[in-house]
Structure 1
Amino acid sequence: MTDTAALAATPDQPPTPSFRDELLAAGLLIDTGENGLYGRSQVFEDVVERLNVAITHLGADQDPEVLRFPPAMRRTDFEDSEYLKSFPDLAGTIHSFCGNELGHQRLLRALDDAMNESDDDRSDAWMAQQTPTRVVLTPAACYPIYPVMARRGPLPAGGRTIDVLSYCFRHEPSLDPARMQMFRQREYVRLGNAQQVMAFRQMWIERGSLLVSLLQLPVEVDLANDPFFGRGGKIIADSQRAQALKFELLIPVANPGSKTACLSFNYHMDHFGGIWKIACEDGTVAHTGCVGFGMERITLALFRHHGLEVNAWPDDVRALLWGETEARVAQGIARMRTQADAAGDGV
């Protein structure tokens, strides 16, 4: 039983299981004892994999370069990214023991003392012997891309489109199963001039909405901002919203009364291009943008809206994920283009 369910319980009325409780009871998520850190079942992973296939078909005509990185990046690249200016509370660093024999003995004594205290909420005194390493946990799948692109030199005339997938880390433990500390982001990242990147973002707002509608999930795209830290963060967030730099596709997941961002559509302007000196073919600073698919969140939304038994999901949803994936995605894109042409908008 979760803490929230326990608080809602009364002596005469048993607690109502939360969505998290139901996922754990069904074995779709596996409790590790740490909020926001879960194992995944074979069924859960199968849905994630089928979603990945659908997303690949959704972006295949963009001819993206496929890159995959581990869920860690160089600390110097992370420092250069300015992530700590905006989200210091979410960052995760990696430490390791780099001491001598004496330091090792101090570590073991402190660890023995901690383990003798209790099974949980132990002292972390042994970590005084740990030293920061040269790598940190990746906060967003696109972050390792920019220094790599910078080292290649100026972008080609058409810019570049990158397909990337990675586990990411955010230090925000929660009982909301959609707010995990370790989760996967699938992204398409665009590097080019402002017009190329803005057109890319608009296209992906349409295609992301298409995928969610094919999954028979509610579609709501809204202006958004990132959770910038501190009092100064509100000013940055207001500026981000005023410039319409970020949109999110929202779906109810944890409960029907709240909505969770399952996809995000971002225009970074020349922020990353300026930091890493990424240039367009004409020598101007490159602009960047990305669409991010929250793989666990979309999967959780499917279980929330279609039930915990995948064999009972709507036939069209099952056909999209486990049957005619490529054909159904192509048909959806063709319908979208036809509707846009009929409206005189193009795509």
Structure 2
Amino acid sequence: MKLTTDSAAVAAAATAAEMGSSLTLRDEMLAAGLLIDTGENGLYGRSQIFEDVIDRLNVAITHLGKDQQPEVLRFPPAMRRTDFEDSEYLKSFPNLAGTVHSFCGDDMGHHRLLRALDDALAEGDGERSDAWLAQQKPTRVVLTPAACYPIYPVMARRGPLPAEGRTIDVLSYCFRHEPSLDPGRMQMFRQREYVRLGSPEQVMAFRQMWIERGSLLVNLLRLPVEVDLANDPFFGRGGKIVADSQRAQALKFELLIPIADPRGKTACLSFNYHMDHFGAIWKIACDDGATAHTGCVGFGMERITLALFRHHGLDVNAWPDDVRALLWGDTESRVVHALQAGQATQSTQTAGVAGERS
């Protein structure tokens, strides 16, 4: 199937010729029509080609975790404000949060809003007044900051976890207020996550398994792989202390791939151990009454897709044959075969270590 157009290819080539070596990945993606500029940094439309790659990545990720028999849940990109408040997200990332406001006034308030809006429109696009926003009030929902956040209150309402714990497959658009020209740092983006709830041992084993499986997927996609200890971007002067503690306890690892940031590599997958943070907040209990621990693996869907275009080119028809076979061929059999080969290698290595010890 041909998934690029002659006009898009010509536009990309013309822009490249005009801008020369200064052309960035963002420029190339926009010129090829793969991303659509909305006029707001970090907020893009996506083309059919871009969406097709994401859809096929999602299929691969589904087969990668199919043997875990996860419960599949899907939520809208908004969550209940009280659940958001309970999550303590604002303690760590107040600068990234996005609230939803709406007009809740009467006729007089509506007239005030319209007058303020008329004044703003008369000013043009440059320095528009936002006075009309004074007529807006917070609603009972906020934008979802991470795909896993709506899960925890739902799990809490079900009562104690079963002895084997629970594994959840979730996908959602997420919002973070960090406008940037780096296309790898979008304000609205999709996260696909597998979330584990259970004992510390269950969650730690889950995270280690997904570090291996995430690396396997990126290897199958023929992308460079580097997994490193990481920390979240905690806010404020106290943020460094929290970040240092997170690193010291090795709670977060990231899979890094060069995309568009000239300063370094971009985190495309993250592997997180929350300890009992969410379990304590929402009183999620294990079957023995202990507070549940949680962890998750998060796939940055747009970031992985950008990495594919960055390393394999803008024409998906020219991508390496094995990458195309994985995404547009028999995805399930290729993923299953790779998982079995990895397990066989691990078993051989384990047997070798045991033989050396004996």
TM-score of Structure 1 vs Structure 2, range by shorter chain: over 0.9
| 1:262-281 correspondence runs (5 A) | 262-281=268-287
1:75 to 57, 61, 81: 81
1:302 to 296, 299, 308: 308
1:134 to 2:143 alignment:
no
SS state at 2:296 partner? strand
| 1:1-347 correspondence runs (5 A) | 16-255=22-261, 258-344=264-350
SS state at 1:210 partner? helix
- Structure 1 runs, 4 residues or longer, greater than 4 Å off: none
Deviations 1:109-155 (Å, cap 9, x if unpaired)?
00010111112441110000000000000000000000000000000
Q: Output the amino acid matched with 1:141.
A: A
For the structure 1 residues 255 and 140, does the alpha-carbon distance in structure 2 shift closer, same or farther, using more than 3 Å as the test? closer
Q: Distance in 1 between matches of 2:296 and 2:351?
A: 23
Deviations 1:29-73 (Å, cap 9, x if unpaired)?
000000000000000000000000000000000000000000000
SS state at 2:291 partner? coil
Q: Which runs of 5+ in 2 are unaligned?
A: 1-18, 353-358
Aligned to 2:11: none
SS state at 2:129 partner? coil
Q: Output the amino acid matched with 2:67.
A: D
Q: Output the amino acid matched with 2:272.
A: N
Q: Distance in 1 between matches of 2:248 and 2:321?
A: 42
CA contact (8 A) 1:36 1:181 kept: yes
CA contact (8 A) 1:19 1:255 kept: no
How far off its partner does 1:255 sit?
4.7
Deviations 1:162-217 (Å, cap 9, x if unpaired)?
00000000000000000000000000000000000000000000000000000000
Q: Distance in 1 between matches of 2:349 and 2:271?
A: 24
SS state at 1:76 partner? helix
Q: Distance in 2 between matches of 1:116 and 1:289?
A: 51
CA contact (8 A) 1:74 1:136 kept: yes
SS state at 1:166 partner? strand
How far off its partner does 1:324 sit?
1.4
Q: Distance in 1 between matches of 2:346 and 2:152?
A: 33
How far off its partner does 1:258 sit?
1.7
CA contact (8 A) 1:273 1:287 kept: yes
How far off its partner does 1:14 sit?
6.3
For the structure 1 residues 53 and 121, does the alpha-carbon distance in structure 2 shift closer, same or farther, using more than 3 Å as the test? farther
SS state at 1:90 partner? coil
Deviations 1:311-343 (Å, cap 9, x if unpaired)?
000000000000010011001101110111011
Deviations 1:199-238 (Å, cap 9, x if unpaired)?
0000000000000000000010000000000010000000
Q: Distance in 1 between matches of 2:118 and 2:216?
A: 55
SS state at 1:273 partner? helix
Q: Distance in 1 between matches of 2:261 and 2:235?
A: 26
Q: Output the amino acid matched with 1:342.
A: T
Identity value in percent:
82
For the structure 1 residues 14 and 262, does the alpha-carbon distance in structure 2 shift closer, same or farther, using more than 3 Å as the test? closer
How far off its partner does 1:257 sit?
5.4
Q: Distance in 2 between matches of 1:99 and 1:15?
A: 53
Return the TM-score normalized by structure 2: 0.92
